[in-house]
Amino acid sequence: MITKSSVQINKEWDIVGARQMGRELAKDLGFGTVDQARIATAISELARNIYLYAKKGKIAYETVEKMNQKGLKIIASDQGPGINDLSKVMEDGFSTSGGLGAGLPGVKRLMDYFDVVSEPGKGTTITTIKWVR
């Protein structure tokens, strides 16, 4: 059972569309309200990063399954400037935009699986999964 869908991020209000879609999918998969809020917040962070740094990109959703466990996989990808120093952005409090700098490390803590692939000048792809408990 793999359903795939995606939302394009081009303007600020697309962030709302992306996280609403994620919340709906999470609800259908049987996530509790706390995990729904976690997923929605994580999507919000990822989509905002796309909007802030890459201007446009895409959030894709997949349902995944392993050993009787279901989960929601969220892939945020863009062809933006990429991340120069991966270890730095995973530090709490580091931000190039004057924000709180809690975005990516926060997403890592909100979700169960987290992976960043980024090439400066080419773009960034972040894959994250949350399992239903």
Please report, as ranges, the residues that interact with another protein according to CB under 8 A: 12-13, 16, 19, 33-34, 36-38, 40-41, 44-45, 48, 92, 99-100, 102-103, 105-106, 109-110
Q: How far is the CB of 121 from another protein (least distance, A)?
A: 26
Burial 51-87 (b: 16+ CB within 10 A, else e): bebbeebbbbbbbeeeeeeebbbbbbbbebebbeeee
Q: Closer to another protein at the Cβ: 82 or 106?
A: 106
Backbone angles phi, psi at 51, to 5 degrees: -60, -40
Q: How far is the CB of 12 from another protein (least distance, A)?
A: 5
Q: What is the DSSP letter of 73?
A: E
Q: Closer to another protein at the Cβ: 26 or 75?
A: 26
47 and 60 Cβ atoms separated by less than 8 Å: no
Q: Closer to another protein at the Cβ: 39 or 66?
A: 39
Q: How far is the CB of 118 from another protein (least distance, A)?
A: 19
Q: Closer to another protein at the Cβ: 17 or 123?
A: 17
Q: Which residues contact 88 (CB under 8 A, 6 or more apart)?
A: 94
